[in-house]
Structure 1
Amino acid sequence: MIIKKLCKEHTKLSDSDIEKIEDIANALPLISDLVRSDIFIDCITHDPDVAIVVAESKPSTHESMYEYSVVGELAFRKNEPAALRTLETGMPTRDLKALTQENKNVRQNVVPIHNNKREVIGVLIMEKDITRDISAINKVEVLTETTEQLTETLLNIKDGRHALTYHVNDAIIIFNKKGIATYANPVAIELYQKLGYKDDIRGMEFNNLSLDENSIIEVINEPNLISSEVNVGKLVLQVKYALLQSENKIIGITMLIKDITEVREKEKELILKSVAMREIHHRVKNNLQTIASLLSLQSRRVDDKSTKKAFTDSINRMLSIAVTHEILAQSGIDEIDLKTIIEKIKNSTLKFGVPFMKKVSVSVSGDAITISSDKATSIALVVNELLQNSLSHAFKNKNEGYIRISVQKGILYSSVSIIDNGSGFDIDKIKKESLGLDIVKSIVEDKLQGHLNMDSTSSGTKVFFDFKNE
């Protein structure tokens, strides 16, 4: 009754449309338990940018992400674009970020619910926790995982099975126990037409429709879901079988065919991109190191101390950028951990940057932050410059000391601080004379969209800069 009441009050759905929504809602608990996720049905309201939750089911076998019921709550386009997109276009939406009514970040997989006129009357939503850790290449496969689970679950619902499979974005063919196709959803009919079949596939034998090497006997005797991947022409198809049972007797077989051509193509693109990115970063690193070596050779022929220092500063800046490209060449992706960069810069600097006979320890601590290569290069230059300044000037009157570099992750901005216990300096005087600090300020403000703060006393110096998150 709650579904009918909500639909009558907030939607334009007819009585027959509401009945179809109610029929599908009866299957939600089974779906929710089998896919171990929160499942919802949303319908569009009189406002095209707002949907309403008319049904829900929480998994009884796993913990729900929701503390309270959200039936009757509104879903706004700005928070749940996947639901509104599918309601609007009738196209399935996969792995799109959303903000729930309880302000939790999730990923939504959404399939449309059609009436007999092929009009979209609602959407079926499955939500997954957004904190799942997915590697760059495997992520493409996972994008379809939850929708695939939803599809497989729908196959095993006895009541209203055909109506539900009509909404699925994968090919589904149901065979009776004699191996004759008794049902094919529209996606299956279209797929076999692409493969050159001229006749109606309904009524055909299993052997004429099977796309892999499995026979019907093998499928029936296999207690678990059989899955295989086949190449048919230019298509890459994933084929799965599930037994249909009634009162512990096998009454037929369901064949699910998913077109994963795009998934495999994207995997190849990611692999090729990864290889290309590694090669590019490797070459950039080598070129920078070559230039640094040439400058080092040239600096040996210079006697003037100020000129020699200018050479050294330029070499250090190049090597700090080279460090970034070295790490990127190893990872093969265009993202990098900030602390890893700073550790590399620290180790490189300590090799020849510590003043003679001085004992200075440098530590790196804080949060793990992943940043783009462009931002990494800018931060590497800033940290290198500040670390060099500290090593060069902070301990002129001390034989030992420490420098602590700390990384802190924030919501909108993250920050890096460099703190030493040196003798301090006159900030106003240094700002006027130091090219390095001019470079630092320019990078922080222009490239990182952040702020630079310095504080120096006789007890030491603290430099803090922040940068806008990706």
Structure 2
Amino acid sequence: MSTLRELVQQHSTLTEDDIEHLHRLAADWQLLADLSFADLLLWVSTTDAYLEPAYLCVAHIRPTTGPTAYLHDQVGRLLSVEASAHLVAAATAGRIWREGDPEWIDDIPARHEAIPVRNGEKVVAVLGRDTNLAATRAPSQLELAYLRSADDLCRMVAAGSFPPRQPVLADDTSMPRAGDGVIRVAPDGRVDYASPNAQSAYRRLGFSGDLQGMELGPLTSDLADDPLEGAEANERISAALAGASPDRIEVEARSAVILLRALPLRPDGENIGALVLACEVTEVRRRDRALLTKDATIREIHHRVKNNLQTVAALLRLQSRRVTSQEAKSALQESVRRVSSIALVHETLSLSLDETVDFDSIVSKISSMVGEVAGTETVVHLRKEGIFGVLPSPVATPLAMVVTELLQNALEHAYLPGQSGAVTLMAQRDRDTLRVEVADSGQGLPDGFSLQASTRLGLQIVRTLVTSELGGSIDLRPRHGGGTEAVVVVPLTSRGAKTSGHAEVEVS
């Protein structure tokens, strides 16, 4: 299914500013649907050369407070000229259309309304408000307050003052909804109506009385544990009463947290007060804080592990300076590099907000570290091609060891003393796999070489890590044109990263 933007761009001549206005409306219209107890359909006039003038539905939302009028999604539905007469009337007159009789939709009686969507001086779309009449009954006080607020907001849509002209929030998961708690505030700041859920939210803050008739801004300020937070909440409610659309704010008192959002109510330019949505988010914030604490603890653990590994590397480095055996000295130096490569990953994880690392920065540090192993008589240039990207820590830690061993093996064994050459590290990544290749143009593999039969510790470590830890495959083979290439293919899915003992090892 195409997105709202794609449908509008393909079938209409609306400008980018008009499309942004429709996006702002779609970001806020769940509130309008819930207050209306009705489905909302966004219609735009088509300009397709192969279609007769008509209206196309580019978005559809159902209410969470009442039954839907449509069993099937209406996005992409095209209304003919005759069927869209009510939409044309609303767009042409620039006013809300309510004159029609109820109609039957899929055996459901429904009432249609058409609300012009104004952006600046022009009507850019029409908002259909279709109400299921099958369960019609005498409305309660709450329902009357909801419908009154919905009508006010619809008149503001027709006048172009709703939704507010501000960026759509990327994270609206905690945006207060109508069912969370609705408070209508008169122009003097006193509460006209508060839903039961709104009353409950303020009781959690410590107010045991009735909100009706109370000055909401000063009351909220007095209840807040933090005076600055309370003063800010009071200012935002006052700003909504003055016609502004302030950002949402959280208020904490007595270990409870409520999220407030204040909207001005100015239908036809008349100031009739504000609509305040109150959502209790105590448990959500408790979990957020617990996650932040755990994240900080995990980062501290990575920092300490990094420090411990660096201490181990330093001790091994000191020991290598004391031994006289060249073979022992080389083994200790290799151990230093292996420990250091793991420490690099933990150092990066200690700075990350999640359990992922930018592996390209790890590779740069590894390349500098292993570049020191080349003999003084051999000049070898390291080159990197491609991008590793961001990797999860279960992949990054063993892969750092694998890259270290393969680069070290190529630098030590590809070229004879006095020779010069290059070693290339290449990365190729798609959505599901990462392919890593270490290639050189040196002397190549010995005759009869077999990776599975190799007794070199470094290659045994690589094979074990790739197949058991990463669930991937490794192929160490002669390179076309001379030299050697090691190809490692690692799955990036969680299933592949945890696979153990089922990977195939390719050996040429």
Note the alpha carbon deviations across 1:175-230, whole angstroms, 9 max, x for none: 23354433333421321343455554345554675454437766433534365432
1:386 maps to which of 406, 412, 421: 406
Structure 2 counterpart of 1:25: 39
Structure 1 257/21 Cα, relative in aligned 2: closer, same or farther at 3 Å?
closer
- Normalised by the length of structure 1, the TM-score is 0.63
SS at match of 2:38: helix
- Structure 1 segment 15-414 matched on structure 2, within 5 A: 24-26=38-40, 28=42, 39-41=59-61, 53-56=72-75, 144-145=171-172, 148=175, 168-202=178-212, 204-206=214-216, 210-211=220-221, 212-213=230-231, 214=234, 219-225=240-246, 227-262=248-283, 264-350=285-371, 352-396=372-416, 399-414=419-434
Rg larger in structure: 2
Give the partner amino acid of 1:434: R
Note the alpha carbon deviations across 1:50-69, whole angstroms, 9 max, x for none: x96423499xxxxxxxxxxx
Identity fraction in percent: 30
SS at match of 2:266: strand
Tell me whether 1:442 sits opposite 2:452 in the alignment. no
- Normalised by the length of structure 2, the TM-score is 0.59
Tell me whether 1:464 sits opposite 2:487 in the alignment. yes
**How far 1:28 sits from its partner (Å)?**
5.0
CA distance in 2, matches of 1:436, 1:297: 22
Note the alpha carbon deviations across 1:23-59, whole angstroms, 9 max, x for none: 62246569xxxxxxx7544699xxxxxx96423499x
CA distance in 1, matches of 2:63, 2:184: 29
Q: Contact 2:239–2:246 at 8 Å: present in 1 too? A: no
SS at match of 1:445: helix
Q: Contact 1:43–1:52 at 8 Å: present in 2 too? A: no
CA distance in 2, matches of 1:172, 1:301: 76
Q: Extract structure 1 runs of 4+ deviating beyond 6 A.
A: 19-23, 113-117
- Aligned-pair RMSD on alpha carbons? 3.7
Which runs of 5 or more structure 1 residues have no equivalent in the other structure? 1-18, 31-37, 45-50, 59-112, 118-141, 152-166
CA distance in 2, matches of 1:427, 1:42: 71
Give the partner amino acid of 1:453: D
Which runs of 5 or more structure 2 residues have no equivalent in the other structure? 1-32, 45-57, 65-69, 78-131, 138-168, 222-229, 494-508
Structure 1 453/244 Cα, relative in aligned 2: closer, same or farther at 3 Å?
same
Q: Contact 1:41–1:55 at 8 Å: present in 2 too? A: no
CA distance in 1, matches of 2:298, 2:34: 51
CA distance in 2, matches of 1:207, 1:304: 80
CA distance in 2, matches of 1:392, 1:446: 26
Name the one with the larger strand percent: 1
CA distance in 2, matches of 1:353, 1:381: 16
SS at match of 1:389: helix
Structure 1 249/257 Cα, relative in aligned 2: closer, same or farther at 3 Å?
same
CA distance in 2, matches of 1:239, 1:26: 25
SS at match of 2:384: strand
Aligned residues between the structures: 344
Stretch deviating more after TM superposition (367-376 or 383-392): 367-376
Structure 1 378/356 Cα, relative in aligned 2: closer, same or farther at 3 Å?
same
Structure 1 178/283 Cα, relative in aligned 2: closer, same or farther at 3 Å?
closer
**How far 1:453 sits from its partner (Å)?**
0.8
**How far 1:355 sits from its partner (Å)?**
1.6
Note the alpha carbon deviations across 1:288-344, whole angstroms, 9 max, x for none: 222222222323343333333322222221111111122222335321012221111
SS at match of 2:468: helix
SS at match of 2:178: coil
